[in-house]
Chains A and B, each alone.
Chain A
Amino acid sequence: MADAAQRDHADAVCRDEGTGAGQLALPFVREGRLRPESFVAAPSNTAARAWLDNGNWPEFRLWLWGAEGAGKTHLLTIWAQGRDAAMLDGATLSDADVESILRMPELQAVAVDDADRVADGRALLHLVNALRERAIPLLLAGRLPPARVVLDPPDLASRLRANASVAIGPADDRLLEALLLRLLAEREIVVSRPVLDWLHRNLPRSPAALVQAADRLDRAGLAAGRPITRALARDALGSLIAGE
């Protein structure tokens, strides 16, 4: 029920993007991949999930960090949907975005993805200050923790370093296996068990590499017009596969 509503909601937003109307930077669900049920829970993200489930963040802020592909955007999206949060993209965040967000009456929560790539630090600082003042929770996500990101102005750096940050740790075997399966399923790529095992064994053990691999396999499968065999996979993956 809730899921269907969420999809409708996502569809409605996508339709709007198609018309080019609407100036608020509120790209809610861009793709159906970021649903709660497709998130792979594992020990490496236990702490992150616990922090997100808990509302008592010091300074009402939390910075979520982890390597590319670790699932930050996914977790952030789940959180944002659950909290009715406005979602913003750190890299393109502008004063105008911040102003329109802050004008929203009864703003519940705000999520900023790619906060480590923020271009306009003053705009983010304005957002951070205004939300703190109103005790509105702010979730930020980035590849590195605030202490290792160059943030300007210094006030912004100091504020973000003072809040809690939680990492998504390196993925373990089970998570990688589940992730690979999910990535292939999302792309409707069918592989035999032996090929799957071979991929799992030979691909680098990082989520980002698996995403890259799934994309390459997708393209290769489409081009070849036949199921993915080990030989086809080896060709498609090339340098991604160890030592080749």
Chain B
Amino acid sequence: MADEGGTHGAPFGATVADASDTVSDAVLGSHWAAISGRLKTEVGEVEYRTWLRQITLGPLDEDELVLFLPTRFLRDWVRGQYGDRLQQLWQGETGFVRRIELQVQRNKAVVADDGEVMPAARIEAVVEEPVRAAATDKTSDLAAPLDPRFTFDSFVVGKPNEFAYACARRVAEKPSSPGFNPLFLYGGVGLGKTHLMHAIGSELTRGGRVSVAYMSAEKFMYRFIAAIRSQSTMEFKEQLRSVDVLMIDDLQFLIGKDNTQEEFFHTFNALVDAGRQIVVSADKSPSDLSGLEDRLRTRLGCGMVADIHATTFELRISILEAKALASGVIVPAKVLEFLAHKITSNVRELEGALNRLIAHANLFGRPITLESTQEVLHDILKAHDRRVTIEEIQRKVAEHWNIRLTDMSSARRARAVARPRQVAMYLAKQLTSRSLPEIGRKFGNRDHTTVMHACKSIAALMERDSAFAEDVELMQRMLES
């Protein structure tokens, strides 16, 4: 992490030098002594020792004072629990500190000794990017970053979604056209509403002239509540009303949230009146969104309402082909067809399944086959892992090898009987969590050593005889499914 060693952002040396022109370290130190004394009485000795004692003074940059903590965890905790209070105390104590900034500065000795300071480093490359991107966006406090994967080019068009796609494209080309404001996209979970909204946003922001705010209705609500709490609703309203395009995803989440709905309604009107574009998505059409205020439903339905239908087999195949191609991993056509047949719920889960296969193949360095697909996705493909009983195993095995069920517990030692019995014992060990003595008891009170011997013999035989191994594996799969 960039800030781990204190090398984060502007070099500290420079800021310390600037600050020392006005405030000396000794002055800061005496203020800090006074503040930490107050904190100790406020929070108590134990609390202070646990969390606050480890704070060290950092540089003062204009009116922002940096405080260091030795670990990220401590820093986050202190920031969450005491950040505001620390700032208040500093503001009360001196005129020259207005803000405080908590940063991580590890003890140098610790960094030197423990070679692996950042086990998370490997994922960091992936993590950093979108966070940074968000920070440069001026509406970043408010809106969510647009997902660069969700573009019009990566949206696979078919019968079920062509109308919604065309409407989205139109809005991206000519925002606020009569008849298309608001654009209301609706359909079931995971069919591509969010994708289309991000695509509109990406398209519009490409020139850099249009400001777009995309957020889920949920986030809208949380932001609104937070604004009320921090008495900054005016700021919130202004921010929202300054955008050219406002996109609210999953509007159904506002059902039952009357105050938030009210706020949304006013924002909506203000924007539309000012000729700005609004795009909204929900799981149902405006008229079916019961629980939403009537006047809001009416307004939502007065632009373009476009629905996305459930996928067809053809569309699912096209989507999978496009995704497989983009991934650069070879996925056999048989596997794609299998997925398109089996995962019909929605596009998100379909793509998720393909992504899992690809990630698995990359992780373990194995090609994607129909067999590996069934193995990797068995939790989605099978409704449950069956709990098999010893009795079931005995019955199935007896049927398969055409012996009597009673022979599972009989004393007969002819191979035609003994071999299937051993197979059943082997499967009982594989498929149940019974102890070996208990398995033995179910096979005519045999000793656990007999079960052990049976398991060993069958495993050895399976090694030698592949036809036999296939037979036993087939049996196992039958019992499991």
What CA separation (Å) do A18 and B481 show in the bound complex? 49
Q: CA separation between A125 and B250, bound complex, in Å?
A: 12
- Binding site of B, secondary structure by majority: helix, strand, loop or mixed? helix
B51: chain A residues within 8 A (beta carbon): 16
Instruction: Flag whether B14 is at the interface (Cβ < 8 A).
Output: no
Q: Does A44 contact B (CB under 8 A)?
A: no
B15 within 8 A of A: no
Q: Give bound CA distance, A166 to B281, whole Å.
A: 32
Question: Contact check: which of B44, B218, B345, B355 meets A164 at CB < 8 Å?
Answer: B355
- Is the CB of A71 closer than 8 A to any CB of chain B? no
Contact flags (1/0) for A115-134 with B, using CB distance below 8 Å?
00000001001100110011
Chain B residue with the shortest CB-CB distance to A176: B433
Partner of A22, one of B81, B113, B130, B355: B81
The answer on a CB contact under 8 Å between A154 and B189 is yes
CA gap between A91 and B44 in the complex, in Å: 31
User: Binary interface profile of A, 6-44, with partner B (CB < 8 Å = 1, else 0)?
Assistant: 000100100110010111101010000000000000000
Q: For chain B residues 350-394, which have a beta carbon within 8 Å of chain A?
A: 351-353, 355-356, 358-360, 362-364, 379-380, 383-384
B309 at the interface (CB under 8 A from A): no
Q: Which of B50, B130, B358, B435 is within 8 Å of A204, CB to CB?
A: B435
CA distance A83 to B72 in the complex (A): 11
Asked if B116 and A2 make an inter-chain contact with CB atoms under 8 angstroms apart, the answer reads: yes
Smallest CB separation, B61 vs chain A (Å)? 17
Task: Determine whether A201 belongs to the interface, using a CB cutoff of 8 Å to chain B.
Answer: yes
Beyond A100-B80, A137-B127, A158-B348, whether A106 also contacts B44 by CB under 8 A is no
**B85 interfacial by beta-carbon distance below 8 Å:** no
Residue of A nearest to B101 (CB): A105
Given known contacts A147-B380, A164-B356, A242-B441, A134 and B123 CB-to-CB distance under 8 angstroms: no
- Cβ contact within 8 Å between A135 and B437: no
The answer, yes or no, to whether A178 is at the interface (CB within 8 Å) is: no
| Chain A neighbourhood of B122, CB < 8 A | 55
Cβ 8 A contact of B384, one of A28, A148, A201: A148
Give the docked Cα–Cα distance between A154 and B282 (Å): 13
Report if A162 contacts B (CB, 8 A).
yes
Sorting the interface of chain A by its residue count into under 10, 10 to 19, 20 to 34 or 35 or more gives 35 or more
Q: Which B residues touch A51, using CB under 8 A?
A: 363
A11 to chain B, nearest CB (A): 9
Known: A148-B383, A243-B437, A243-B441. A125 touches B218 (CB 8 A): yes
Chain B residue at minimum C-beta to C-beta distance from A103: B80
A66 to chain B, nearest CB (A): 11
CB-nearest residue of chain A to B49: A15
Q: How many B residues face the partner with a CB closer than 8 A?
A: 69
Residue A92 lies at the interface, judged by CB distance under 8 Å to chain B: no
Complexed CA–CA distance, A56 and B123 (Å): 7
Does A205 lie within 8 Å of B123, measured CB to CB? no
The answer to whether A107 touches B76, judged by C-beta atoms less than 8 angstroms apart, is yes
Segment touching B, from A57-65, A180-188, A216-224, A225-233: A57-65
Residue in contact with B120 in the complex, picked from A24, A108, A201, A243, CB distance below 8 Å: A108
B190–A105 contact, CB under 8 A? no
What residue of chain B has the Cβ atom nearest to residue A50's Cβ?
B363
Q: In the complex, which residues of chain B have a beta carbon less than 8 angstroms from the beta carbon of A103? A: 80
Shortest Cβ distance from B224 into chain A, in angstroms?
13
B436 within 8 A of A: yes
A100 nearest in chain B by CB position? B80
A242 to B79, CA, bound (A): 54
Give the distance to chain A from B444, nearest Cβ to Cβ, in Å. 14
Measured between beta carbons, the chain B residues less than 8 angstroms from A54 are 363
Could you give, for residues 35-46 of chain B, a 1 whenever the CB lies within 8 Å of some chain A CB and a 0 otherwise? 000000001101
Q: Is A189 interfacial (CB 8 A cutoff)?
A: no
The docked-state distance in angstroms from the alpha carbon of A105 to that of B47 is: 22
* A82 at the B interface (CB under 8 A): yes
Residue of A83, A129, A146 most packed against chain B (CB within 10 A): A129
Contact A165 B379 (CB under 8 A): yes
Check if B138 is an interface residue, CB within 8 A of chain A. Answer: no
Among A107, A137, A164, the one with the most B-chain Cβ atoms within 10 Å of its Cβ is A164
Cβ contact within 8 Å between B73 and A99: no
From residue A58, how far is it (CB to closest CB) to chain B in Å?
Answer: 4
Please tell me if B216 contacts chain A, counting CB pairs below 8 Å.
yes
Within 8 A of B (CB), among A147-166: 147-148, 154-155, 157-159, 161-165
Complex contact B346–A158 (CB within 8 A): yes
Q: Which residues of A contact B46 (CB under 8 A)?
A: 15, 19
Q: Which residues of A contact B3 (CB under 8 A)?
A: 106
Interface residues of B in 64-100 (CB under 8 A from A): 71-73, 76-77, 79-81
Binary interface profile of B, 13-55, with partner A (CB < 8 Å = 1, else 0)? 0000000000000000000000000000001101100110000
- State the CA gap A5–B74 with chains docked (Å): 13
Q: Contact partner of A55 among B123, B429, B448, CB < 8 A?
A: B123
Q: Cβ of A212 < 8 Å from any Cβ of B?
A: no
Quick one: which of B97-151 are within 8 Å of A by CB?
110, 113-114, 116, 119-120, 122-123, 126-127, 129-131, 134, 144-145
Asked if A109 lies at the interface with its beta carbon under 8 angstroms from chain B, I say yes
Residues of A with C-beta under 8 A to B353: 162
- Check A209 for interface membership: any CB of B closer than 8 A: yes
Does B438 reach chain A (CB closer than 8 Å)? yes
- CA of A100 to CA of B145, assembled, Å: 20
Question: Which residue from chain B places its CB closest to the CB of A159 in the assembled complex?
Answer: B348
Partner of B79, one of A59, A105, A122, A167: A105
Checking B144, B222, B358, B434 against A205 with a beta-carbon cut-off of 8 angstroms, the contacting residue is B434
13 contacts between A and B (CB under 8 A): A22-B81, A55-B126, A56-B123, A56-B126, A58-B358, A59-B355, A60-B126, A135-B130, A145-B379, A162-B349, A162-B352, A164-B360, A204-B433
Given contacts A9-B71, A26-B77, A157-B189, 6 further A-B contacts (CB under 8 A): A15-B46, A58-B359, A161-B348, A162-B190, A165-B356, A202-B435
Where the two chains meet, the residues of A that have a C-beta atom closer than 8 Å to any C-beta of B are 1-2, 5, 9, 12, 15-16, 19, 21-24, 26, 28, 47, 50-51, 54-60, 65, 82-84, 86, 99-100, 103-109, 122, 125-126, 129-130, 133-137, 145-148, 154-155, 157-159, 161-165, 167, 170, 201-206, 209, 241-243
The 9 A-B residue pairs with the shortest CB-CB distance, nearest first, are A162-B352, A55-B123, A242-B438, A145-B379, A58-B355, A206-B433, A82-B119, A135-B130, A104-B76
